[in-house]
Structure 1
């Protein structure tokens, strides 16, 4: 009977111990979340997700992958309705065989990247004229934004390093998302995201005036941007909306005369893809993990729990008397030796104490 009780007790302890450290064990994994542009069709959204997944597998192999690239499709009904109302006023004065008519039809139909080079040449004045009449629109009030927020928060509950990959007008959504979530989200372990930011943002072909809004201003190392200098669509709105300037010297692309397509003009071109990967890598490395004490219990008489992030070189130690401390720039070799040592307390005194910068992160 005692043996049976011991087995049952063990079966209860193991899963509960795993539940306690499950969140903190994911902090060195990377999750990408796609925020699509204004005229992305549902099939285009699915295709872009696949292209981003292939991009991660090819260019970000240094990070463990949490899962396939995720996203929440934004239909942008509010923006498109406003754009359509202004645009159709111009329809009344346009010949249906004119280039202007073709451009507007293509934009409203979501086929802007399929225009010819000649047709692309008139996109800029058409867009500027229409965009100049558009009223302000509250993105946060849209159902699509709320759905994206719910989906992203669900992914953050995995406690992974999460980076938004936002394209075109999706940057406006992403700016709103990061600011709303950073200010309100709390991890399953009770830690606030605002205290330990594990969410970053990579902007591609951005029409926004900033990358990440207030979040990006306060955390410049957690955001990045790349826009082709031959991206005709972004050139159309940079002066009008005060968008961040183009920062990549691109060559003409026969597959996409606009220089704007997420896949053909950014992810499928090695130069652009390499720069995007470098920026995402920097963002991922600069994300700051929550306290990691629950990763591993310790049998030491002085130490109760320990945890480590290989990406950030952070070692967290919770002492039985004195609270929890974070040690910075601790090499992975030191962590491995510390973890496997027969006495955590003795190893700490010999090899860690007074050798690394530290801070107290738990009373």
Structure 2
């Protein structure tokens, strides 16, 4: 009797795996789009942006396999004043180390200690921002939604922008 249970369990495992692989095979050519808004974008602007992206996909990319029904996660705004200061800080820092970062990204050699310090600060800032952002509720919701799409074996194009609808 014990052998029958083992054989039944093995057959169920094989069937479940083959169904999952069949779903992956059917979805591998699907291209899903996932939109996350930037700062200064309220929910109505988020929805408007998604609609504009959908219109673009229908007009230019639906025939290439893109699903025009864009999924996404609204990234709720922080305090407006905080966001303004954050944008100003980003612009200031971008100008301060801009040339060295471009050299680094182009795999060019960094000839000075100041250049190496600028790159180290740049990478540290990215790490700090990533750690604080990834724990936010909006980020956790976005990750869960993205994992659902990826679990279906579809390809995903992430569409995001950092400073939203700031004029």
What does residue 162 of structure 1 align with?
Answer: 156
Q: Which of the two has greater helix per residue?
A: 2
RMSD: 3.5
> How far apart are the structure 2 equivalents of 1:81 and 1:128?
11
Paired residue secondary structure (2:41): coil
* 8 Å Cα contact 2:41-2:77 kept in structure 1: no
Structure 2: distance between partners of 1:28 and 1:147: 25
> 1:82–1:67: structure 2 CA closer, same or farther, 3 Å change rule?
same
SS of alignment partner, residue 160 of structure 2: strand
Shift of 1:47: 1.2
Q: Distance in 1 between matches of 2:25 and 2:161?
A: 30
Q: Is the 8 A contact 2:33 2:70 kept in 1?
A: yes
Instruction: Name the CA shift for 1:130/1:49 in 2 (closer, same or farther; >3 Å).
Output: closer
Query: Segments of 4+ in structure 1 off by > 3 A?
Result: 15-20, 127-133
- Post-superposition Cα deviations, 1:93-147, rounded to whole Å, max 9, x if no partner, equal xxxxxxxxxxxxxxxxxxxxxxxxxxxxxxxxxx6379759x9752112111111
Q: Distance in 2 between matches of 1:83 and 1:23?
A: 41
Secondary structure of 1:32 counterpart: strand
Alignment partner, residue 70 of structure 1: 71
Aligned to 1:35: 36
Number of the residue aligned with 1:128: 88
Structure 1, unaligned stretches of length 5 or more?
A: 1-11, 88-126, 171-204, 206-232, 234-257, 259-363
Tell me, yes or no, if the aligned pair for 1:28 and 1:63 is still in contact at 8 Å: no
* Cα shift at 1:80: 4.4
Aligned partners of 1:30 and 1:161 also within 8 Å: yes
Aligned to 1:193: none
Give the structure with the higher percent strand: 1
Q: Which has the higher contact order (CA 8 A, sep 6+)?
A: 2
In structure 1, how many angstroms separate the alpha carbons of the residues matched to 2:143 and 2:89? 32
- Length-normalised TM-score, structure 1: 0.28
Count, aligned residues: 118
Matched, 1:143 2:137: yes
- Cα offset, 1:62, TM superposition: 3.4
Distance 1:44 1:83, change over 3 A: closer
Alpha-carbon distance in structure 2 between the residues aligned to 1:157 and 1:81: 39
**CA displacement, residues 136-195 of structure 1 (integer Å, 9 cap, x when unaligned):** 75211211111111111111112111101112337xxxxxxxxxxxxxxxxxxxxxxxxx
Secondary structure of 2:159 counterpart: strand
